[in-house]
A and B are shown apart, each in its own frame.
Chain A
């Protein structure tokens, strides 16, 4: 969809300055200088058109005490959809993609402990007859969850 200049401002605010308060949308409307009802209507439209997936909390997996790891495996092309569907059924699998590499299936798994994640991966390996490589993060240089919507934000 075509985003208006107001939409872009709303998206920047919703991504970066959502207040922790009893009436968060009212505060945002004040910043934008518009009525809260107008803001809510516009956000509803951005949700209806699929631009906004959800509004809520973004949790820190590690601080919550959970373990997550990136995994990759090599799957024969003709079995790929079936293997991918099986892996996606795991509630701890949050992302699962076919990628253009010998390792053609990449997914992340999150679990209450490393042990539980590893148990699940071993079970998947047995069920599916594939080798799952894990690529744990040793250092995090950046996790940014917002996308700069204004045109000027891309200056490096």
Chain B
């Protein structure tokens, strides 16, 4: 069970923590507990798997990864684990999921691929598409970003 303190910590961390030597001071003051106690609780939430990690989240494009494509692959269900595991090992692939898909959309293995140029993306696609058990694929290029934010829980 999450306590009210846990929820306040999660809410604090889903924003942008202050760029200060002691970034948890404002939260500690608000909750009336010490920064050490907050850090202990963050460690617990991390150990429980609720907080995957503390980290900087980058803007791909500004960080030099100008070509970012969602690519969906047609793979038979009994080969999903094999292909999924292979794709997951590629450094350019950040996300790899097996999804339930509508009947008229036969591409069920989804990847996000990040590259520094269209040529680099092409190279990656060639490499991955030559893997046996891949029947076909579709590059779902983003033409326009309407929204991109982090989820605010609670």
Contacts and interface: CB of A to CB of B under 8 A. Distances in A.
A64 B46 CA distance: 11
B56 A106 contact: no
Nearest to A93: B147
A38 interface: no
Given A18-B54, A50-B62, A144-B94, A64 B153 contact: yes
A36 B91 CA distance: 31
Given A58-B53, A96-B147, A143 B95 contact: yes
A92 B43 CA distance: 27
B10 A59 contact: yes
B88 A57 contact: no
Interface residues of A, number: 79
Contacts of B35: 22
A50 B70 CA distance: 22
Given A36-B21, A56-B17, A133-B105, A99 B99 contact: no
Nearest to B23: A24
Interface string B85-107: 10111111111111111100100
B146 A56 contact: no
A79 interface: no
Contacts of B146: 84-85, 87-88, 96-98, 107
Nearest to B44: A20
A84 B100 CA distance: 23
Interface in A68-98: 68, 70, 72, 84-85, 87-88, 91-98
Contacts of A155: 91
Range for the number of chain B residues in contact with chain A: 35 or more
B36 interface: yes
Given A22-B22, A133-B105, A63 B98 contact: no
B63 A147 contact: yes
Contact of A53 (B17, B19, B54, B59): B59
B55 A63 contact: no
A137 B43 contact: no
Interface of A: 1, 3, 11, 14-16, 18-26, 36, 40, 43-44, 47, 49-61, 63-64, 66, 68, 70, 72, 84-85, 87-88, 91-101, 103, 106-107, 110, 133-149, 153-156
Given A58-B51, A147-B94, 8 more contacts: A20-B43, A54-B57, A57-B53, A58-B55, A87-B146, A138-B98, A141-B87, A142-B96
